[in-house]
């Protein structure tokens, strides 16, 4: 019946929990209480970018400067 699976605990015990500000349906896992969107539009930040940001922050650059 419900094809959506929780990304954290792999549970199928999912309920719909409103919409995002962009109108996408939001879901909640009843087992681990995590809220998520089925197909998020944002991409995850790569490890290389995280390392570069950490390096630049250590050089005392502001986030706006990065």
* 56 within 8 A of 64, measured Cβ to Cβ: no
What residue ranges do the domains of the chain occupy? 1-66
Mean pLDDT of 4-24: 91
pLDDT of residue 1: 42
The closest alpha carbon to 22, from 8, 40, 44, 48, belongs to 40
Q: How far is CA 21 from the centre of its chain?
A: 15
Higher-scoring residue by pLDDT: 64, 12: 12
Mean pLDDT of 39-44: 78
pTM: 0.58
H or E segment to which residue 15 belongs: strand 14-19
Mean pLDDT of 7-22: 91
Instruction: Decide: helix, strand or coil at residue 18.
Output: strand
Residues 20-34: tens digit of each pLDDT:
888 899 999 999 999
Mean pLDDT over the full length of the chain? 87
């Amino acid at each position: 019946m419900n094809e959506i699976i929780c990304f954290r605990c792999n549970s199928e015990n999912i309920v719909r929990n409103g919409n995002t500000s962009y109108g996408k349906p939001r879901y909640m896992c009843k087992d681990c209480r995590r809220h998520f969107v089925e197909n998020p539009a944002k991409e995850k930040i790569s490890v290389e970018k995280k390392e570069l940001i950490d390096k630049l922050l250590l050089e005392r650059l502001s986030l706006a400067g990065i």
